[in-house]
Amino acid sequence: METKKENKWNVPNALSAYRILALPFISYALLTADRDLFILLLSINLISDILDGLIARLFNLQTEFGAKIDSIADIGTYLMAFIGMITLEKGFVMAYKIEFILLIALWIVPQIYALIRFKRFPSFHLWSYKLTGYLQGIFIFSYFVLGFNSFYFHLMLSVSYLAYLEELVLVIILPKLQSNLKSIFLIQLQKKA
């Protein structure tokens, strides 16, 4: 990234800010067990997450600030989705508790490690993370609207596990956190060049 002054006021950053501001309302939907409101607000957050990334890339609006605020919004949305599954679908979560515990552990370990080591959360925006976000968003939406699909659930879990392991390896091997990386494989190629 260039060292020029970033324009923090742009559409992708506004969408990320919206996602952060929506979190208390999603929490309210969970506290009141309003399943329809939860699905609606979480779906809007998931769609706006897709849109902010597309707009940032298409119009060359990617910034360091945008990567950080997007990551904070992602973490908040992700936590709300997990809490929503636990709150609204306790039986389902208990039936797959090992899978969910592993999913949460693999996601949280790199977050905590980065926070301890670098004093901030990672904002890599890896291709694997983008794929995971799409798969998880589709799973959550389709689960609440259409019902459970075992094959898709296990596909989503497998891809998620691999993405979280990629992030963990990067947090361990990189000397400093970088934003907007694509893949651990590209970083390895850059080191060899």
Mutual orientation of helices 150-173 and 127-146 as an angle, nearest 10°? 150
pTM of the model: 0.79
d(CA 47, CA 42): 9
pLDDT of residue 1: 43
d(CA 8, CA 26): 26
In the chain, where the domains are located? 11-192
- pLDDT tens, residue by residue, 64-79: 898 889 989 988 998 9
- pLDDT tens, residue by residue, 155-183: 999 999 999 999 999 999 999 988 878 89
- pLDDT tens, residue by residue, 106-158: 999 999 999 999 999 888 889 998 899 889 989 988 998 899 999 999 999 99
Residues sharing a CB contact under 8 Å with residue 25, sequence separation 6 or more, in sequence order: 37, 41
> Which fold does the domain 11-192 belong to in CATH?
Four Helix Bundle (Hemerythrin (Met), subunit A) (1.20.120)
